[in-house]
């Protein structure tokens, strides 16, 4: 190769790098939620996904056959039956689970020979250990619906499912536009308090997917002034906030009746007016997936009943599951 050709090649490579484009034809490059650049030579074929919500995204993309390992959460009661209905391998517990959101068995994970691992971005020690084995890692951190759209786009890129990702993102944009248009017409916004399953005082501030959804549903997050995705308030603060509506994440230890009948909480406006509601199964109400639109519809039916009309829970679930997972998988998911 002549010196002139070498200089030309250097200039071409410099152009691609400066433009943020892959220097090699056929490579796939994304930036994860921790700011790390991840490059694959070809779509991942053996994926270990240690985040249940991200696994939902993989099934929505139609890439379930590329899954080699899942989070232990998938095999827990309340979630298992839905994935089992979609995937025989999960029904028969054939897909290994080398970890979850709080623990990773590195030896078990490496034995699966993955070409991509999906994990929460705050699991920094696990990420370093996995990357140290030469395995590409995609770190996830979600605090808005826009983050959910980025994740589905990135997974579409990494798994060779760009076309399907574009369809899903297009649907999501239409839904966001629909809610945003309706939102402009709401004259009154009730004060809404969201309750996580850890306890009555566990809630979400802003930015967060919870805050996004309450706003789009026509309510106002009473803790939206707190700059935290997940936060804990005290009893006095909750009383002072006087929420009109209280929404519970699915909770086996706390029911709406526990709140409305409590000697302290029964005096809150939400309790007095019987406006305390619990969301159904976490599978359908996963706020970190495109299923968040089911939750927005559900909350809107409470916040703006005159605008949203009657809420047919079974029909809403079936329609959205068919759109998100496709006709074949979507029809298999039980919606009773």
pLDDT for 18 equals 36
Q: Which residues pair with 202 in a beta bridge?
A: 232
- State the Cα–Cα distance between residues 197 and 315, nearest whole angstrom: 26
Q: Mean pLDDT for the chain?
A: 90
Token pair listed for 11: 């200039």
Q: CA 224, CA 226: separation in Å to the nearest integer?
A: 5
Among 178, 260, 168, which Cα is nearest to 218's?
A: 178
Residue 60: band (very low, low, confident or very high) from pLDDT cuts 50, 70, 90 = very high
Q: What is the pLDDT of residue 26?
A: 59
| Strands 202-203 vs 231-232: parallel, antiparallel or unpaired | antiparallel
- Whole-prediction pTM: 0.88
pLDDT value of residue 102: 83
Which of 17-26, 72-81, 186-195, 320-329 is the least confident region?
A: 17-26
- Residue pair 120/140 in contact (Cβ under 8 Å)? The answer is yes
pLDDT at 20: 37
Q: Give all domains of the chain, ordered by start, each with its CATH number.
A: 12-141 (3.40.50.1980), 184-332 (3.40.50.1980)
Stretch 198-219: mean pLDDT, rounded? 95
Kind of pairing, strands 28-31 and 37-40? antiparallel
Q: Give the Cβ contact number of residue 260 at 10 Å.
A: 18
Local confidence band at 27 (pLDDT 50, 70, 90 cut-offs): confident
192: enclosing H helix or E strand? strand 191-195
pLDDT of residue 77: 86
What's the alpha-carbon Rg for the chain, to the nearest Å?
22
> Three-state DSSP class for 290?
coil
**Can you tell me the distance from the alpha carbon of 29 to that of 16, in angstroms, rounded to the nearest whole number?**
12
Query: Which three-class secondary structure state does DSSP give residue 319?
Result: helix
Q: Which helix (H) or strand (E) holds 110?
A: helix 106-111
Cα 74 to Cα 22: distance, rounded to the nearest angstrom: 35
pLDDT tens-digit profile of 115-127?
999 999 999 999 9
Max alpha carbon distance in the chain (Å)? 86
pLDDT of 311 above 90:
no
Residue closest to 159 by CA, chosen among 67, 57, 63, 59: 63
Give CA separation, 102 vs 11, 35, 260, 283, in Å.
46, 21, 34, 19
Q: Phi and psi dihedrals of 277, rounded to 5?
A: -130, 145
């Amino acid at each position: 190769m002549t010196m002139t050709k070498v200089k030309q090649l250097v200039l071409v490579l410099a152009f691609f790098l400066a433009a943020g484009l892959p220097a090699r034809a056929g490579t796939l490059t994304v930036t994860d939620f921790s700011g790390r650049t991840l490059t694959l030579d070809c779509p991942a074929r053996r994926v270990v996904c240690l985040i249940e919500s991200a696994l939902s995204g993989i099934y929505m993309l139609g890439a379930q056959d590329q899954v080699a390992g899942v989070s232990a959460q998938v095999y827990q009661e309340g979630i298992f039956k839905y994935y089992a209905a979609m995937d025989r391998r999960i029904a028969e517990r054939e897909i290994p689970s080398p970890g979850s959101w709080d623990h990773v068995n590195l030896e078990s994970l490496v034995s699966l020979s993955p070409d991509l691992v999906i994990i929460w971005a705050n699991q920094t020690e696990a990420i370093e250990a996995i990357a140290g084995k030469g395995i590409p890692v995609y770190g996830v951190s979600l605090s808005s619906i826009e983050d959910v759209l980025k994740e589905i786009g990135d997974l579409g890129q990494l798994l060779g499912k760009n076309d399907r990702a574009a369809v899903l993102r297009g649907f999501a944009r239409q839904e966001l536009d629909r809610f945003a248009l309706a939102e402009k017409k709401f004259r009154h916004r009730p004060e809404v308090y969201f309750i996580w399953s850890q306890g009555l005082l566990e809630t979400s501030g802003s930015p967060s997917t919870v805050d996004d959804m309450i706003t789009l549903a026509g309510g106002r997050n009473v803790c939206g002034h707190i700059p935290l995705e997940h936060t804990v308030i005290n009893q006095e603060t909750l009383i002072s906030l006087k929420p009109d509506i209280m929404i519970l994440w699915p909770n086996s230890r706390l029911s709406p009746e526990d709140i409305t009948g409590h000697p302290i909480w029964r005096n809150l406006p939400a309790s007095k007016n019987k406006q305390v509601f619990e969301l159904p199964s976490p599978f359908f109400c996963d706020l970190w997936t495109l299923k968040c639109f089911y939750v927005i519809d559900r909350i809107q039916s409470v916040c703006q009943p005159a605008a949203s009309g009657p809420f047919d829970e079974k029909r809403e679930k079936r329609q959205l599951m068919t759109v998100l997972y496709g006709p074949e998988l979507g029809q298999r998911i039980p919606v009773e």
